[in-house]
Amino acid sequence: MAFKALGITNNDIVFCSSLTFSATANPIIYQNATPVFIDSEKETWNMDPRALEKAFKKYPNPKAVIVVHLYGTPAKIEEIRDICNKHNVPLVEDAAESLGATFNKKQTGTFGKFGIYSFNGNKIITTSGGGMLVSDNNERIQKVRFWATQSREPARHYEHKEIGYNYRMSNICAGIGRGQLKVLDKRIEKKTNIYERYKKSFEGISEIEMQPYMANSKPNHWLSAIILDKTSKIKPIDIIEALENENIESRPIWKPMHMQPFFKDYDFITLEKEKSIAQDIFERGVCLPSDTKITDEEQKKVIKIIKKLFI
Ligand SMILES: *Cc1c(COP(=O)(O)O)cnc(C)c1O
């Protein structure tokens, strides 16, 4: 809906984070537009502003930029916004994973022309499914609400001048969402404690580093993710399997979009000569159990299983 509101259509170019979940990129294809994927930087794992600048040199006229705040860690969003403003290109933020996370005390999802949030079952708060679009442009929001509720013209007999969509949230789901919104701060606190405990526990292991974030940002720590040193003999799959043996689920990092069979033929902009940062993080990273329901005992067990691999 954000892309439609921005008028994105056949063969328009949209710059998109490569290291993300496919839901960031899919709507580019829904609009018959062309994604150009952008590499990550190492300080937040999100879109590298320098790679974005490089993309603008190759494609001076993209119709939008969409950037993700991966695992709830804010991207270098002010730099990215400034680059977009300089080139007069609208910015859309995929804040699906980062509800409540801030950059310079400002909420992720509110820097661009549009921000999107997800209330899917796995997110920090959920309505079982669905999401939310935000913008400071009331006219655009009204238009999206119109499309999302089947484009019904104000006429008794159901008049349709435009194609409609059934993208609205049901009142029951919205009610659940409003209830959950009240516990968001508590969830962020819990997720932050989980992240901090992992961080402290792995301090003695030089091969493990937590997903980093900018000092002027506050992630919601939706997922605690680690990256293993290049020299580490232990690989992500060793950790995943060791946990799996104890019936504990962990996951690799999202496989970058430029490596996905569906998207691999689209262009990818990186500053690296050999391996991209996105691919490197994908190959060396692990998402650890981060559910707010994890108990201290359970997290201790996870930490113990991982630590055992390194001695
Ligand atoms: C969950 C998620 C979405 C949206 O998912 P929906 O299932 O459509 O709510 C979009 N982007 C990212 C990065 C996500 O993690």
User: Hey, what are 144's tokens?
Assistant: 């999206």
Q: Is 178 exposed, middle or buried (0-12, 13-18, 19+ CB in 10 A)?
A: exposed
Digits of tens for pLDDT over the chain (311 positions)?
999 999 999 999 999 999 999 999 999 999 999 999 999 999 999 999 999 999 999 999 999 999 999 999 999 999 999 999 999 999 999 999 999 999 999 999 999 999 999 999 999 999 999 999 999 999 999 999 999 999 999 999 999 999 999 999 999 999 999 999 999 999 999 999 999 999 999 999 999 999 999 999 999 999 999 999 999 999 999 999 999 999 999 999 999 999 999 999 999 999 999 999 999 999 999 999 999 999 999 999 999 999 999 98
Cα 21 to middle of ligand 1, angstroms: 7
118 Cβ closer than 6 Å to some ligand 1 atom: yes
- R_g (Cα) of the chain, nearest Å: 20
Q: Is the CB of 131 under 6 A from ligand 1?
A: yes
Q: How close is the Cα of 142 to the center of ligand 1, in Å? A: 23
Judge if pTM exceeds 0.95: yes
Distances (CA, A) of 91 to 43, 64, 110, 111: 21, 6, 10, 8
What's the CA gap between 212 and 60, in Å, rounded? Answer: 31
Separation of CA 116 and ligand 1 centre (Å):
9
The total number of residues written for the chain in this structure? 311
304 Cα to the center of ligand 1, angstroms: 31
Q: Closest by alpha carbon to 150, among 134, 169, 163, 132? A: 163
Query: How far is Cα of residue 4 from the mean position of the Cα atoms in its chain?
Result: 20
Q: How far is the CA of 25 from the centre of ligand 1 (A)?
A: 10
Per-residue pLDDT at 35: 98
* Binding site membership of 68 for ligand 1 (Cβ less than 6 Å): yes
Pocket test for ligand 1, best of 24, 26, 70, 119 (most atoms within 8 A of CB): 24
> Which letter, b or e, does each residue of 225-251 get, where b requires 16 or more Cβ atoms within 10 Å of its Cβ?
bbbbeeebebebebbbebbeeeebebe
Q: What is the pLDDT of residue 3?
A: 98
> How far is 51 from 41, CA to CA, in rounded Å?
9
Q: Is 2 in the pocket of ligand 1 (CB under 6 A)?
A: no
E strand or H helix at 2:
helix 2-5
Residue 311: its pLDDT value, please? Answer: 86
Ligand 1, pocket-test mutation among 120, 126, 223, 254, most atoms within 8 A of CB: 120
Task: Give the Cα separation of 102 and 5 in Å (integer).
Answer: 25
Pocket test for ligand 1, best of 40, 69, 97, 117 (most atoms within 8 A of CB): 97
Report the pLDDT value the prediction gives residue 175, as an integer from 0 to 100.
97
